[in-house]
Amino acid sequence: MSALTKDDLIKKVGDLKVLPFVARKVLETLNDENCSIDDLNDIIEKDQTLAARVLKISNSALYGLRHEVTSLRQAILLLGFKTIRSLVLSVSTRALYKNFGMTEKILWDHSIGAAISAKIISTGLGSEVGEVAFIGGLMHDLGKVVMNNESPDVFAEVMMKIYNEGVDSITAEEEAYGYNHAEIGARVTEKWGFSPLLVNILENHHLRNYKLEDIKDPLTIKSIACVNLADHVCKVLGIGYRNPDETVELHKLPSAVFLGLSKDRLNNLVVKINETYNNEKAIFE
């Protein structure tokens, strides 16, 4: 199977209908300034599986609520619209995979690992950064999912180069496709009507030809830094990789330097992220 051109791929997948119905309705509702808690509750409740998963994640260590959340309405009240939107999208993202074999499991595990990592890294930077970092981490490799869905044979060759030859994903993709997952993820979510901030994260999370110091908006710069660092933490831990990579010097990365994270602090964060990932990843299944 040959790869689609970049424009054809974006056109084919850019239709919002590829998203699960409830996810589409939640996005549409939250774009309405008159949206109420009841509106959101009524939409999510229509999908009991999704509602149950949102509740499970709300009660996880990732959110650290003092009391158990027992109803969807309570979760919306306590966590807010933006957080609930993130959770609905996170639960719905798995439905975008057309198949779920070894390649898809690797991609999914890495996405969950990056989301958890980014959220933990964002601690102390404000709740808004935490939510953007979480959803950015979860969706940063959406382009890979799209490319794998539409041309699995070509993407299998890319995965072989990454995991057997140690070629970085961007290089392997551009050799096979003529474009890369960061471009595709950004353009697809742009067509879906996602926020410019999330589109920016997907497009620039590798920080290729994109320096953090050139970014003026504080929320954007902090969010991209968190997702970039989270991506590398997953590499160190081997989440979504064949083996852990101990050669990565996290403290020297531009994202770590910007966030002011020392080597010791990062070592502690990696331990915490690994524990949290192993304890919490099942709630996303």
pLDDT at 16: 64
84 pLDDT higher than 90:
no
Average pLDDT rounded to a whole number, residues 109-117: 95
Cβ proximity of 205 and 140 under 8 Å:
yes
> What backbone phi and psi angles, to 5 degrees, belong to 196?
-55, -30
pLDDT at 17: 66
Q: Does residue 150 fall inside a structural domain?
A: yes
Provide the H-helix boundaries in 31-168.
37-45, 48-58, 72-79, 81-93, 102-121, 127-139, 142-150, 152-165
What are the tens digits of pLDDT across the range 24-68? 787 777 777 788 888 888 888 888 887 888 888 888 888 877 788
What CATH number is associated with residue 209?
1.10.3210.10
Nearest to 133 by CA among 55, 87, 198, 58: 198
Of 88 and 5, the one with more pLDDT: 5
d(CA 226, CA 257): 11
Which residue reads 């424009």 in tokens?
7
Of 10 and 16, the one with more pLDDT: 10
Q: Using CB atoms within 10 Å of the CB of residue 137, give its burial: 0 to 12 exposed, 13 to 18 middle, 19+ buried.
A: buried
Q: Does residue 254 fall inside a structural domain?
A: yes
Q: Does residue 46 fall inside a structural domain?
A: no
User: Mean pLDDT in the chain?
Assistant: 88
Question: What percent of the chain lies above the pLDDT cut of 90?
Answer: 50
Helix axes 142-150, 169-177, angle to 10 degrees: 30
Q: How confident is the model at residue 226 (pLDDT cuts 50, 70, 90)?
A: very high
Q: Does residue 151 fall inside a structural domain?
A: yes
Q: The domain containing residue 108 runs over which residues?
A: 6-16+99-284
Number of domains within the chain: 1
In the chain, % helix, strand, coil (3-state, to 5) comes to 70, 0, 30
| Ranges 78-87, 159-168, 170-179, 201-210, most confident | 170-179
Q: Does residue 10 fall inside a structural domain?
A: yes
Q: Does residue 141 fall inside a structural domain?
A: yes
Q: Does residue 44 fall inside a structural domain?
A: no
1 pLDDT higher than 60:
no
pLDDT at 123: 94
pLDDT at 143: 95
